[in-house]
Structure 1
């Protein structure tokens, strides 16, 4: 009887172990898992080869900016943008959704919401932004131009170097050339804004390749509507109503 009892215990133990292995194997290889709730500081969404496609994180765990899967030189650190960061097929950051807000010790608040999409190997060119500095609020859709080359990180590295030059004509000329690499074009310029500014004015602004407003449609906080046409120097050339 004692011998049979020992054999029974061994049998039960081996069977339990086999069932556990089968269950674990099924869980790992099922391809689909269902959870009612997950608590995490960061979740990385990756391709089958491990390449990062999206990071969902809190503020402290938010990733630094990556190009081809590697940090920029000089780096743009993370730890300051809770939300979602998107990456393209090559592991380069190409947009995201970030949000934050709160009051400081004086009781004043700041709040931000930002959804952006980047031009290939450049910075953001399409973005929705809500920015609120204790009631001074700007909200709207932005569409920007970015030069196609050099890549944003190379341009940024050169700009950072130029900023370290001693003050004087050489520094000013270098920064100007970086900002205006071609005649009549800037390295980047805001072309379209549709939204509302701090004065509660609803507006549509269209700008040229230098980022200078050329057409403005306004409805101010008391309901007055106006349409302005501007020249390159920012002077109004025609206005409705006159």
Structure 2
């Protein structure tokens, strides 16, 4: 009887050891498993009004939002002065390494109370500390349509937000020669070079004409390759005043 009791005690002791080791293994496996997925989530569907994509230091890199929660325009992480408010452009907004907006993808469309419609799609990329210089745009104002690829020139200085603030101040001046001169200087800071000028357009206009237009530093079209709505093709050379100097076919 005493031998059987001793044997049972030894078996019970071994069971305790086995249970303890098994518990430790299960805890270790659980900790390893949860630590591996603690910062990763998988969802089949998610409904949100806005998502902010951040760097590890908290800096904003992209915003995905609906219209009402779209962000105001930022430079170095701070609003413009005067500000360009948000709440009006559903889609994506991109930010560079310094927290300055540098492009985005926005889209909208619908009818107003009169039955007129307006639709827009716009993908853009901005020059450093300036405005957009490469963009794809579809704009349709109740049938008045312009669709294509745009390539623009922007001056390198001052920064866009400073230039914009100066331009806004100039617009508020009383009408007269001084106001006109200041606005002209802001738009053409150097002789023969505008602050912003469209240099390339590839697309079609509201007359259903497909075109490639190349312009000079003042944004004046100088060369046009056209195919109109009737299929007639032309190549036009233009002077600084927009007058056609040579055309093919002649």
For the criterion TM > 0.5, the same-fold answer is yes
Give SS of 1:85's match. Answer: strand
* Deviating 4+ runs (over 2 angstroms): 25-31
SS in 2 for 1:156: helix
Distance in 2, matches of 1:178 and 1:26, equals 59
Indicate the RMSD between aligned Cα atoms, in angstroms.
Answer: 1.6
39, 43, 50: which is aligned to 2:58? Answer: 50
Q: Hey, what's the Cα distance between the residues in 1 that align with 2:205 and 2:244?
A: 20
Given the two structures, how large is their TM-score scaled by the length of structure 2?
0.86
126, 134, 141: which is aligned to 2:149?
141
Answer yes or no: is 1:161 the counterpart of 2:134: no
Q: Secondary structure at the match of 1:117?
A: strand
Query: Shift of the alpha carbon at 1:109?
Result: 1.1
TM-aligned CA deviation for residue 176 of structure 1 = 0.3
Does the CA contact (< 8 Å) of 1:64 and 1:78 recur in 2? Answer: yes
> Which of 204, 229, 236 is equivalent to 2:237?
229
2: distance between equivalents of 1:155 and 1:110?
Answer: 30
The answer to which of 118-127 and 227-236 deviates more is 227-236
Aligned partners of 1:124 and 1:70: how far apart in 2? 19
**Inter-partner Cα distance in structure 2 for 1:67 and 1:192:** 27
d(CA) in 2 for partners of 1:209, 1:227: 21
Q: For 1:29-178, what aligned pairs fall within 5 Å after superposition?
A: 30-178=38-186
Cα deviation for residue 106 of structure 1 reads: 2.0
Structure 1 residue 237: deviation in Å? Answer: 1.0
- Which residue is 2:12 aligned to? none
User: Is the 1:114–1:128 contact (alpha carbons within 8 Å) kept by the matching residues of 2?
Assistant: yes
Q: How big is the shift at 1:30?
A: 2.5
Offset, 1:50: 0.4
| TM-score, with length taken from structure 1 | 0.88
Higher Cα Rg, which structure: 2
Deviations 1:133-157 (A, max 9, x none): 1122110000000000000001001
Deviation per CA, 1:97-117: give whole Å up to 9, x if none. Answer: 000001112222110000000
Whole-angstrom CA distance in 1 between matches of 2:143 and 2:209:
14
Q: Which runs of 5+ in 1 are unaligned?
A: 1-18
- The 8 Å contact of residues 27 and 33 in structure 1, kept in 2 or not, is answered as no
In the alignment, the residues of structure 2 paired with residue 221 and residue 38 of structure 1 have an alpha-carbon distance, to the nearest angstrom, of 45
- DSSP-derived class of the 2:182 partner: helix
Contact 1:69–1:91 (8 Å) recurs in 2? yes
